[in-house]
């Protein structure tokens, strides 16, 4: 086999493989516009009639609420978590990357330890703590910890610290000579220079909070406060009686925000900028 044949073979393999990997999502989408019986009939890839009404049915499937409510709730939580994470992790990262203070090494070790600490281990005691604070069945248990850098905060701080260390120190030293305060340096020099890293923190905070299920399951009880994930779960539990097509339709809609963000910022992810802060 010569070089050209090999290349064609490799290409063909990749195309088939990628299609195979994406097929479940394509199947989900096509299922969202099919009638119930057609989804589970072998051989029908495309619907005989495109039933867009599944989307309308799914939207109103939970009595008394629409998926619009769930989407608004999910957006509220995710946006608060993004704001809180960016606020708290950039401040801490600046201190670790640029400032000197007592116990710095010890605290950095603590940070690295929490990076490895499995969050699920804290499931029970956190629940007890938040219920004592009266945070159960409100968004506080989900969002307040983000303002204290406890929503994947260790990972975000680590990412930002690595990035800030790459910014030339001459920039801040010049500012010190000009009499800038530490806060001015942080705000006017460091923040503008680490936009890509801040962008990564915001992206991950949004996507991880959007897809989070366990915490939402624990801390939200009222259907009126449900997020998209919880709404879908409720729908899934009753789906035997309802149409699968409309469940698939809502599943597709629930993926739209994350998938849209991904495609808008795809180079950011696939070139490793999002995880390492540098183009690799």
61 part of the interface to another protein, by CB under 8 A: no
Q: Encoding tokens for residue 51?
A: 């039933």
31 part of the interface to another protein, by CB under 8 A: yes
CB of 28 to another protein, least distance (A): 5
How many residues of this chain interact with another protein, rule: CB under 8 A?
95
Residue 32 per-residue DSSP state:
T
**Interface segment toward another protein; rule CB under 8 A; list 39-47, 63-71, 73-81, 160-168:** 39-47
Instruction: Output 46 or 101, the one with its CB closest to another protein.
Output: 101
**HSE-up (13 A, CA, CB side) for residue 175:** 16
129 part of the interface to another protein, by CB under 8 A: yes
Place of tokens 């366990």: 214
CB of 111 to another protein, least distance (A): 8
12 part of the interface to another protein, by CB under 8 A: no
264 part of the interface to another protein, by CB under 8 A: no
Instruction: Output 72 or 99, the one with its CB closest to another protein.
Output: 99
**Interface segment toward another protein; rule CB under 8 A; list 19-27, 56-64, 73-81, 191-199:** 19-27
Which residues 6+ apart lie within 8 Å of 147 measured at CB?
Answer: 83, 84, 87, 88
**Interface segment toward another protein; rule CB under 8 A; list 48-56, 63-71, 159-167, 255-263:** 255-263
In order, the DSSP letters of 137-160 are TSSHHHHHHHHTT-SSHHHHHHHH
Residues 197/81, Cβ–Cβ less than 8 Å: no
72, 112, 123, 264: residue in contact with another protein (rule CB under 8 A): 123
Q: How many CB atoms lie within 10 A of CB 205?
A: 25
**Interface segment toward another protein; rule CB under 8 A; list 53-61, 74-82, 158-166, 174-182:** 174-182
CB of 57 to another protein, least distance (A): 16
Q: Encoding tokens for residue 199?
A: 């962008």
36, 66, 114, 138: residue in contact with another protein (rule CB under 8 A): 114
43 part of the interface to another protein, by CB under 8 A: yes
Place of tokens 């090999």: 6
Place of tokens 């959007």: 210
Which residues 6+ apart lie within 8 Å of 178 measured at CB?
Answer: none
Q: Which of residues 205-224 bind another protein (CB under 8 A)?
A: 207, 210-211, 213-214, 217-218
Q: How far is CA 102 from CA 84, 91, 165, in A?
A: 26, 17, 20
Place of tokens 């949004």: 206
53, 87, 184, 221: residue in contact with another protein (rule CB under 8 A): 87
194 part of the interface to another protein, by CB under 8 A: no
Sign of CA dihedral 115, 113, 86, 166: negative
CB of 94 to another protein, least distance (A): 6
């Amino acid at each position: 086999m010569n070089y050209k044949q090999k290349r064609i073979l490799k290409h063909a393999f990749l195309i088939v493989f990628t299609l195979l990997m994406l097929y479940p999502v394509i199947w989900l989408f096509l299922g969202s516009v099919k009638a119930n019986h057609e989804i589970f009939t072998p051989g029908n890839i495309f619907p005989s009639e495109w039933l867009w009404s599944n989307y309308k049915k799914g939207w109103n499937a939970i009595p008394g609420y629409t998926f619009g409510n769930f989407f608004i709730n999910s957006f509220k939580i995710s946006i608060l978590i993004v704001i809180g994470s960016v606020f708290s992790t950039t401040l801490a990262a600046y201190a670790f990357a640029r400032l000197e203070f007592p116990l710095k090494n010890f605290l950095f070790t603590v940070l690295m330890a929490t990076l490895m600490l499995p969050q699920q281990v804290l499931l029970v005691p956190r629940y007890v703590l938040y219920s004592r604070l009266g945070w159960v069945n409100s968004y506080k248990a989900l969002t307040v910890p983000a303002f204290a850098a406890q929503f994947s905060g260790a990972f975000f701080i680590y990412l930002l610290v690595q990035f800030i260390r790459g910014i030339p120190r001459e920039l801040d030293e010049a500012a010190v000579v000009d009499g800038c305060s530490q806060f001015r340096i942080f705000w006017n020099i460091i923040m503008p220079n680490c936009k890509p890293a801040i962008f990564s923190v915001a992206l991950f905070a949004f996507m991880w909070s959007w897809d989070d299920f366990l915490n939402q399951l624990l801390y939200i009880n009222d259907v009126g406060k449900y997020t998209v994930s919880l709404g879908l779960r409720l729908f899934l539990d009753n789906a035997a009686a309802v149409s699968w097509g409309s469940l698939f339709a809502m599943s597709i809609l629930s993926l739209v925000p994350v998938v849209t963000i991904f495609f808008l910022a795809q180079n950011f992810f696939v070139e490793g900028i999002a995880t390492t802060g540098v183009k690799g």
